[in-house]
Amino acid sequence: MMKFLHTSDWHIGRNLHGRRRHDETQAFLSWLEETIRRREIDALLVAGDVFDSIAPGNTAQGLYYRFLSRLAATPCRHVVVIGGNHDSPSFLNAPRELLKALDVHVVGCATDGPAAEVLVLRTADGAPELIVCAVPFLRDRDVRTVEAGETAEDKNRKLVEGIAAHYRQVGAIALAVREDLLAAAPSANVPPIVGMGHLFTEGGRTVDDDGVRELYVGSLAHVAPGGFPDCFDYIALGHLHVAQTVNGAETIRYSGSPMPMGFGEAGQRKRVVLVEFPASGGGAVPADSALDASRGPLPRIECLDVPEFQTLESIKGDWDAIAARLAALAAAGSTAWVEVVYEGDEVLGDLGARLDAAVANTRIEILRVKNTRRVESVLGRIQADETLEDLDAEEVFRRCLDQRQVPEEQRADLLMAYREIEMELETRDVDEA
């Protein structure tokens, strides 16, 4: 019997509108450690975006390393960590050899040879129990050769094909490794093969203000579920913050982030995924386990709800609705962080003062105020109380296109060019970190 937890997108070090979230992160990691102890978890798989930035602060680093060290005293025998698009590959990889002493396996970026991404996890007595294809976030340069005269469609096709080809390579290596292991010990249990990745997939769901930065237009770089090798008995994905299956496939999942990344995720149920593989091959297969003759026993999957460590709430409506909800929260002794979206017809010049009065002598904090009453501005659509903090760079670019009345048929190529420049700059930052 092999049990592992699938989690991702911790984003350690992330702030929310100026508020540090170290206490939330510590609470989650403590809960995760206790869950590992209580459920007797054998391995922990972290599918990318461990940190929120390529240069995490000392406090963020301390939370990560102290957690890994504490796991040594739990039933968890192995930890597998892959790099995400927010992570610095060099930073994640730097202590890799030291972390091996704690059975922590780190793959921060694409390797020179895909075989380095195929890991064999073993029981305490040395028997293979799980093969993990630990594929990190694949950057454009890792999988695509640039050619002159390429169209946006050409770039997308080559990128998706490159990602799929990489997974086929590691899948083929994993199959060969498993065959070698079974040839050496024919009566041993058949170790399942688990794929890991940090990427977009077709059909993946996001929500507004969930912290996911999509670097490609529309469906670009979205990998179809069929792009993964059939040999994967489970695929542990990261990057999307909403916990979900991919196109209804129970064994292809995003665990989602363990904490809401923005007010768009307020009230969203956060999870980690417990995956349990029964014994196979030389071991007995429990009677209640489904069996796939081509790949071995199918896993049992259980989604574990993560407690809410800090309540986020988005309040929308006219002033009466907003005031009523704030009063209800205050009466309940809430410590919520609140976003207020004013949608009333009346122009309120004293909205800020009203809100301050409404939460005075309470533990409620209003972190963000948006007023949907529009005013004339240089960019044409900036809200009365909107600042550059409320806009990402791409939104500013889009508004510039609006202002200059760029034809719709030209926008896809321009956005693609913009996003490629953004990715290149991001990659340079990672390389220089």
Q: Summarize pLDDT for 411-430 with one digit per residue, the tens.
A: 777 877 777 676 665 555 44
**C-alpha–C-alpha distance, residues 391 and 153, integer Å:** 28
Residue 215: the pLDDT is 45
Percent of the chain with pLDDT over 70: 83
Q: For 69, how many CA atoms within 13 A lie in the half-sphere containing its CB?
A: 8
Residue 294: the pLDDT is 41
Say whether both 172 and 104 belong to one domain: yes
Residue 412: the pLDDT is 73
Say whether both 276 and 316 belong to one domain: no
Say whether both 283 and 330 belong to one domain: no
Say whether both 201 and 332 belong to one domain: no
Q: Summarize pLDDT for 148-183 with one digit per residue, the tens.
A: 666 767 777 788 888 999 999 999 999 999 999 999
Per the model's pLDDT, the better-predicted residue between 157 and 326 turns out to be 326
Say whether both 298 and 342 belong to one domain: no
Say whether both 175 and 316 belong to one domain: no
- Evaluate if residue 279 carries a pLDDT over 90: no
Residue 410 — very low, low, confident or very high, per pLDDT cuts 50/70/90? confident
Residue 258: the pLDDT is 97
84 near 56, Cβ under 8 Å?
Answer: no
Please, what is the angle between helix 351-359 and helix 319-331, to 10°? 20
Query: At 73, which CATH number?
Result: 3.60.21.10
- Evaluate if residue 383 carries a pLDDT over 70: no
- Evaluate if residue 207 carries a pLDDT over 80: no
**C-alpha–C-alpha distance, residues 152 and 415, integer Å:** 10
Mean local confidence (pLDDT), 195-202: 93
Say whether both 90 and 118 belong to one domain: yes
Domain boundary among 271, 305, 339: 305
Residue 218: the pLDDT is 40
Q: For 120, how many CA atoms within 13 A lie in the half-sphere containing its CB?
A: 18
* Single-letter residue type at 353: A
How far apart, in Å, are the Cα atoms of 269 and each of 134, 209, 332, 361? 27, 16, 21, 30
- Evaluate if residue 281 carries a pLDDT over 80: no
Residue 284 — very low, low, confident or very high, per pLDDT cuts 50/70/90? very low
Out of 123-132, 342-351, 397-406, which region has the weakest mean confidence (pLDDT)? 397-406
Domain boundary among 305, 340, 364: 305
Residue 288: the pLDDT is 42
Say whether both 392 and 356 belong to one domain: yes
Per the model's pLDDT, the better-predicted residue between 400 and 183 turns out to be 183
Q: Summarize pLDDT for 66-82 with one digit per residue, the tens.
A: 999 999 999 999 999 99
**C-alpha–C-alpha distance, residues 91 and 93, integer Å:** 6
Say whether both 113 and 136 belong to one domain: yes
Query: At 357, which CATH number?
Result: 3.30.160.720
Mean pLDDT of the chain: 85
Our count of domains for the chain comes to 2
Domain hosting 14: range is 2-305
430 near 55, Cβ under 8 Å?
Answer: no
| Parallel, antiparallel or unpaired: strands 244-246 and 249-254 | antiparallel
Say whether both 267 and 317 belong to one domain: no
CA proximity to 196, closest of 122, 87, 113, 108: 108
Say whether both 297 and 323 belong to one domain: no
pTM for the predicted model, two decimal places: 0.82
**C-alpha–C-alpha distance, residues 239 and 223, integer Å:** 13
